[in-house]
Amino acid sequence: MGHRLLPIVAAFLFWGLVAPVAGSSGTQHAPVYLALGDSLAFGVGASNPLGTGYVARVYQSLEGSERYRQGGLDLINLSVPGAKSSDLQAAGGELDSALKVIGERQQHALPAANDVEIITIDIGGNDLLALVAPGSPCLQSASVEPCRAAFGDVLSSIQNNLMETIRRLRQAAPEAIIVVVDLYNPFSGTGDLREPIAELGVGQANGVIGAVLASTELQARAASVFQLFSGRGGQWIAPDGIHPNDYGHAVIAEAVLAAIAGREPAIPNSLLSMSPGATSAPLQPNTVTDSNNDSGGVSVSVFLAGIAVAFAAGLVVCSTIPLPLVVQDHYLRFVGNGGPRNR
Query: At residue 287, does pLDDT exceed 70?
Result: no
Residue 64 banded pLDDT, cuts 50, 70, 90: very high
The pLDDT of residue 151: 85
The pLDDT of residue 198: 79
Mean pLDDT of the chain, nearest integer: 77
Q: Quote the pTM value.
A: 0.75
Q: Of 1-15, 50-64, 258-272, 313-327, give the lowest mean pLDDT range.
A: 313-327
Encode the chain in three state secondary structure. Answer: CCCCCHHHHHHHHHHHHHCCCCCCHHHCCCCEEEEEECHHHHCCCCCCHHHHCHHHHHHHHHHCCCCCCCCCCEEEECCCCCCCHHHHCCCCCHHHHHHHHHHHHHCCCCHHHHCEEEEEEECCCHHHHHHHCCCCHHHHCCCHHHHHHHHHHHHHHHHHHHHHHHHHHHHHCCCCEEEEECCCCCCCCCCCCCHHHHHHHHHHHHHHHHHHHCCCCCCEEEECCCCCCCCCHHHHECCCCCCECHHHHHHHHHHHHHHHHCCCCCCCHHHCCCCCCCCCCCCCCCCCCCCCCCCCCCCHHHHHHHHHHHHHHHHHHHHCCCHHHHHHHHCEEEECCCCEEEC
Q: Which of 17-31, 110-124, 286-300 has the highest mean pLDDT?
A: 110-124
Please tell me the distance from the alpha carbon of residue 20 to that of residue 24, in angstroms, as a whole number.
7
Q: Which of 12-26, 128-142, 311-325 has the highest mean pLDDT?
A: 128-142
The pLDDT of residue 143: 64
Query: At residue 10, does pLDDT exceed 80?
Result: no
Bridge partners of 75?
Answer: 33, 334
> Domains plus CATH for the chain?
6-18+29-267+296-336 (3.40.50.1110)
Percent residues over pLDDT 70 in the chain: 66
Please tell me the distance from the alpha carbon of residue 274 to that of residue 257, in angstroms, as a whole number.
23
Query: At residue 255, does pLDDT exceed 90?
Result: yes
Count of Cβ atoms closer than 10 Å to residue 1 Cβ: 27
The pLDDT of residue 312: 44
Q: What is the pLDDT of residues 156-170, one digit of tens each?
A: 999 999 999 999 999
Residue 291 banded pLDDT, cuts 50, 70, 90: very low
Rounded to 10 degrees, the C-alpha dihedral 169/171/173/176 comes to 80
The pLDDT of residue 195: 87
The pLDDT of residue 50: 96
Cβ contacts of residue 111 below 8 Å, gap of 6+?
A: 105
Query: At residue 140, does pLDDT exceed 80?
Result: no
The pLDDT of residue 148: 83
The pLDDT of residue 290: 40
Q: Which of 20-24, 139-143, 200-204, 278-282 has the highest mean pLDDT?
A: 200-204
Rounded mean pLDDT, 138-166: 85
Bridge partners of 222?
Answer: 180
